[in-house]
Amino acid sequence: MFVPLEFSIIPVAVLISQLGLSNTIFGVILAESGGGSVMLVMLFAGFFSQIPKELEESATIDGSGFFRTFASIMLPLSKPIIGSAVIMQIVWTWNSFLTPLVLTLSNPSIRPLSVGLYAFRGENVVDWTGIAAGATISILPIIIIFLILQRYFIEGISGAVKG
């Protein structure tokens, strides 16, 4: 269940190549969106296990089916955990290094910022000012997304369902 990304990078690269998306930005996006974040699955499982069963049972007694119960009760209650998951997935994808590096080895022009910062490190010299400037610029979108979704993130981590 907990398989590190490093173990799956070769099959992902082969699959992207077989799909004809090698050295394209769409291949990198597809590989990053496939994720398989076990952490997020565990976060959702922990959140939904805190929701009282009485809510679901009362909806069933009122004649609600599974999908209506989920859409009208469970989904509105899960806004905090969805916000937390969105923030975490965006941050992990934005900071991803290995997958974009492997998938863009022969086409440096489509490399994302995290991989592009690696170019400031030479064989004998490191451009620390360039790396610092790039890191400052790269953190701005994450800060903006966090500020927009901050309420959901705090509620999702602390637990929004009161028992």
pLDDT score at 159: 54
HSE, CB side, 13 Å, CA atoms: give it for residue 140. 7
In the block, which residue shows the tokens 């800060």? 143
What is the chain's mean pLDDT, rounded? 82
Give residue-wise pLDDT tens across range 8-39. Answer: 888 888 988 999 988 888 988 888 886 666 77
CA angle 110, 115, 120 (to 5 degrees): 110
Domain extent listing, the chain: 5-37+79-158
Count the residues in the chain: 163
pLDDT score at 11: 86
Angle between helices 79-94 and 128-158 (to 10 degrees): 160
pLDDT score at 160: 46
In b/e form, how buried is each residue of 90-121, taking b as 16+ CB within 10 angstroms? eeebbebeebbbbbbeeeeebbbebbbbeebe
CA 50/CA 43 separation, integer angstroms: 11
pTM of the model: 0.72
- Residue 50: pLDDT band (50, 70, 90) is confident
Give residue-wise pLDDT tens across range 120-156. Answer: 887 788 888 888 988 888 889 888 888 887 777 676 6
| 5-37+79-158 has CATH 1.10.287.3510 classification | no
CA angle 96, 100, 106 (to 5 degrees): 155
HSE, CB side, 13 Å, CA atoms: give it for residue 82. 6
Instruction: State phi, psi for 121 to the nearest 5 degrees.
Output: -100, 115
